[in-house]
Amino acid sequence: MTGGTEPPRETSLDVIQRELTAFARRARAAAARVHPELPLVSYTLLAHIEERHGCRATDLAAHYLLDKSTVSRQLAGLEKLGFVERRPAPDDHRVQVLHATEEGTKVLASARTNRRAAYQERLKDWSAEDLARFAAYLLRYNDAGTDDLPDHPSP
């Protein structure tokens, strides 16, 4: 700020909350444009399944702090679209492991390409130093965890 004065902490927190909410809304809208039947939560779960080369539904619920019922509904939609399939775990055939299908992998690749292009366009005027700072702040924020956040509704 000018004159060496900083805004009150509460003012900054209000701005952060408002802007993160706007960011989340844009992310949901962008996900809907990539694939109208693939909401942001489903996209996120599918990406996690692909990155892990398979995982259990309970692992997804624990990782994203979601109700099992929320994960179950999202997975049912992904299975219906043909983006996810269940396979028995190699070490225990009673356990079902989720895997991205070939079609699911294609949708993710397309979404990543579109998202990267959108970020490149939106941030094209930012310096490399500003981008590095922004990336570092996002990492720092996300590394802080969610233990101290108020309860948030399931997406």
Cα(50)–Cα(105) distance, rounded to whole angstroms? 7
- pLDDT at position 150 over 50: no
pTM value?
0.74
Instruction: Say how many CA atoms lie within 13 Å of 92 toward its Cβ.
Output: 5
Question: Could you give the percent of the chain with pLDDT greater than 70?
Answer: 90
Q: Please report which confidence band the pLDDT of residue 147 belongs to, taking 50, 70 and 90 as the band edges.
A: low
52 with 62: CB under 8 angstroms? no
Write down the pLDDT at residue 151: 45
3-class SS of residue 23:
helix
pLDDT higher than 90, residue 33 = no
The pLDDT-based confidence of 155 (bands split at 50, 70, 90) is very low
Q: 92, 87, 98: which is closest to 50 by C-alpha?
A: 98
